[in-house]
Amino acid sequence: MSNPFDEQSGTFFVLLNEEGQYSLWPSWIEVPAGWKVVYGKDQKDNCLAYINEEWKSLIPTQLIKAVKINPVM
C-alpha cells in the first residue's frame, strides 16, 4: 500500500480546522471530524498553492487568543 499523499495524479481537498490550520487531504478519504473542506476537489499542486496563499500564520488560533487576553510584559 502506498502513501495516499504521494499520489500525484489523484485529487485532493484543502481542509481547515478550528485552530486555523490547513491540511492537504485525499478526496477519496473521509474528512476527519473537526475539519471542513475549504478548497477542492483539485489537483495536488493547486491545493498546495491554495494553502501557501491562505495560511498566513502557523500559530494556532487558541494561542493567539490567549496571548491577546494575557499579554506577556
pLDDT, position 45: 95
Taking residues 1-29, what's their average pLDDT?
89
Q: Rounded CA gap, 13 and 31, in Å?
A: 9
Q: Cα–Cα distances in Å, from 45 out to 4, 50, 62, 65, 71?
A: 14, 9, 29, 32, 39
Domain segments of the chain as ranges: 4-69
Which CATH class for the 4-69 domain? alpha beta
Better pLDDT: 14 or 59: 14
pLDDT, position 8: 78
User: pTM of the entire structure?
Assistant: 0.77
pLDDT, position 6: 79
At 26-53, the pLDDT tens digits run: 999 999 999 999 999 999 999 999 999 9
